A = this chain, B = another copy of it.
Amino acid sequence: MTKGDETRGAILDEALALASRVGFTGLTIGQLAEQTGMSKSGLFAHFRSKEQLQLQTLAHARHRFIDTTVRPTLATPRGEKRLRELFERWLAWETETLPGGCIFVTGSIEFDDQPGAMHDALVADQRDWLDTIATVAETAVTEGDLRPDADPRQVAFEIQALILGFHHATRLLDDERALDHARNAFEAILDHARAH
């Protein structure tokens, strides 16, 4: 790995932390340069445009997310256990990885009404993520942990909503019951999709 790639990685680490707090638009090149101890132009040369910086920061987050959350989950036993693992790993990702919480939540709201490359990248990421949840939910169906007629996409929708609700309750409202509420809600989703 060349020197350039190394500092580029360090920049993206910092960019990720900063963007999770102030968003991808609030992520400014001047501040990022100051925070990394570089000059504006030296830092800028790595990306050649702000949009590229944003896109690469998002890609950086995607790689980290897949490595720490998605891939390990897919290595656990199929079925309800895997669905639980996915949810618990997302909770860890939300609370332990970045100072501002899940950066996909931030980005999704920021770009939901603004066209461009960032919007498209976020849509692709979130569709992939929903597909992942739905696929894992489907294994729970085929393993017999959930009802045969349970709709994996409905389950995915509800879990995604729960994720957003947890982010909201912890980040904005600082609600100390958020974790309990979230786990209760998760059990309720499972109960409802389970054979009774």
Interface residues of A (CB under 8 A from B): 20-23, 25-26, 99-101, 105-106, 108-114, 119, 122-123, 126-127, 130, 153-154, 157-158, 160-162, 164-169, 171-173, 177-178, 181-182, 184-185, 188-189, 191-192
- Distance in angstroms between the alpha carbons of A188 and B158 in the assembled complex: 10
Give this chain's copy count: 2
State whether A100 and B126 are in contact (beta carbons under 8 Å apart), knowing that A160-B168, A192-B192 are contacts in the complex.
no
What are the 9 tightest A-B residue pairs by CB atom distance, in nearest-first order?
A161-B165, A164-B164, A112-B172, A112-B171, A157-B181, A109-B109, A100-B113, A21-B113, A188-B192
Q: Which of B25, B105, B122, B162 contacts A25 (CB 8 A)?
A: B25
A24 nearest CB across to chain B (Å): 11
A165 near B172: Cβ-Cβ < 8 Å: no
Chain B contacts for A106, CB-based, 8 A = 109
Chain B contacts for A108, CB-based, 8 A = 168, 172
Q: Which of B112, B126, B164, B191 contacts A161 (CB 8 A)?
A: B164
